[in-house]
Every structure is written in structure tokens, then in C-alpha cells.
Amino acid sequence: MHPSTHLALHHLRAADLRCAADLHSLAVTARSPRTLRTRLGWTLVEVGLRLAAPSRAAIALP
């Protein structure tokens, strides 16, 4: 393969990889707040359910 052809293909591939990396970083930043908000929400639900449930020590066994 001629060196200039190889260099041109290298530049094209590098540009494709940079574009893919930019799209990936945009997708990650767009997804992160929703994921954090969802995890926080479910954690609060779990804490609320634990507070609302009667403790096991208070239940009298026959």
C-alpha cells in the first residue's frame, strides 16, 4: 500500500473514532442525571418502606 494512501486511511479512521467518542460522551452525560435521580428515588422508597414496616422485635410470637 502506498504510504500516502495508508496515511489518508489512518486520518479517516481517526476522525471516525473521534466522532464515535464524542457521541458516546454526549450519551453518557445525557444519561447520568436520570440514572442518579432514579437510583436516589428508589433508595428513598426503600427507606420509606423500611420505616413504615413494623419492626420484627415488636411482633409477638405465639
Residue-range definition of the domain harbouring residue 15: 3-51
Question: Does residue 31 form part of some domain?
Answer: yes
- Provide the pLDDT confidence category of residue 22 given band limits of 50, 70 and 90: confident
Q: Tell me how long the chain is.
A: 62
> Which pLDDT value is given to residue 57?
63
Domain membership flag for residue 22: yes
In a domain, 25, yes or no: yes
Q: Does residue 56 lie in a domain region?
A: no
Residue 40 above 80 pLDDT?
yes
Q: How many structural domains are present in the chain?
A: 1
- Comparing 3-7, 16-20, 31-35, 50-54, which segment has the lowest mean pLDDT? 31-35
